[in-house]
Amino acid sequence: MNDMQTLVVDPHQYPDLESLTVPEDHLDLRLWLRMLSCCNLIETEIRSRLRTEYDTTLPRFDLMAQLQREPGGMKMTDLSRYMMVTNGNITGITDQLEKEGLVERIRNSADRRSSVVRLTAKGRRAFRKMARSHEEWVLSMFDGLPDTSRDVLFETLGQLKTFVRLQPSSRPAG
């Protein structure tokens, strides 16, 4: 069975995005590629674990995480806004989760166009379990990082999130 080619790569073993820069490049660029490769490393690991251990995906996990905060459920339109994807995609993910009994749609009698999605009891149990694992994975990945670095990262990323300036043309005029 040597004709099979499963993807088996240790990311630390190969150069990554950051290696595409040279010291002469702007610090911003090197910073960005370093941040991106950190994120990709961690995100890939989480996606892979969600897949192998819970047979699910990050968007599905995220949708359930949104619902978990709102015991009464959320309107599809709000889910779409918070998750920054279009309506049709929320319908699709909700369909999958509903088929597995993890969420349910509740029709709204006041406005019969809209419905509310919420976690079922089974969905709440499943999410709690996944969220615990998810947290363990993250903790274990950050394990070697000194406390001061953690604090500093948290603070400066907070600044960055505020300061990041999106190009005007990519935003709606209003």
Count of residues of this chain found to bind a copy of itself when the rule CB under 8 A is applied: 76
Which has the closest alpha carbon to 97: 45, 55, 69, 52?
55
Q: Which does 81 bind (CB under 5 to 8 A by kind): a copy of itself, DNA, none?
A: a copy of itself
Q: How far apart are alpha carbons 79 and 73 in whole angstroms? A: 10
- Kindly identify the residues of this chain, within the stretch 79-108, that bind DNA according to CB under 7 A: 84-96, 105
Choosing from 64, 102, 103, 116, the residue that interacts with DNA (CB under 7 A) is 116
Q: What residue has token string 């040279």?
A: 22
Binding mask 9-28 for a copy of itself (x = CB under 8 A): xxxx-xxxxx-x----xxxx
- Kindly identify the residues of this chain, within the stretch 43-62, that bind DNA according to CB under 7 A: 57-60
Choosing from 1, 84, 110, 121, the residue that interacts with a copy of itself (CB under 8 A) is 84
Strand ranges of the sheet holding 115-119, from the earlier edge strand across to the other edge: 74-75, 115-119, 103-107
Q: What residue has token string 């989760």?
A: 97
Under rule CB under 8 A, residue 161 binds a copy of itself = yes
Q: How far apart are alpha carbons 73 and 102 in whole angstroms? A: 13
Binding mask 88-107 for a copy of itself (x = CB under 8 A): --------------------
Q: Which does 104 bind (CB under 5 to 8 A by kind): DNA, a copy of itself, none?
A: none
Q: Cβ contacts of residue 45 below 8 Å, gap of 6+?
A: 137, 141
Residue 145, φ and ψ in degrees, nearest 5: -80, 125
| Interface residues toward DNA, by CB under 7 A | 1-7, 57-60, 75-78, 84-96, 105, 110-116
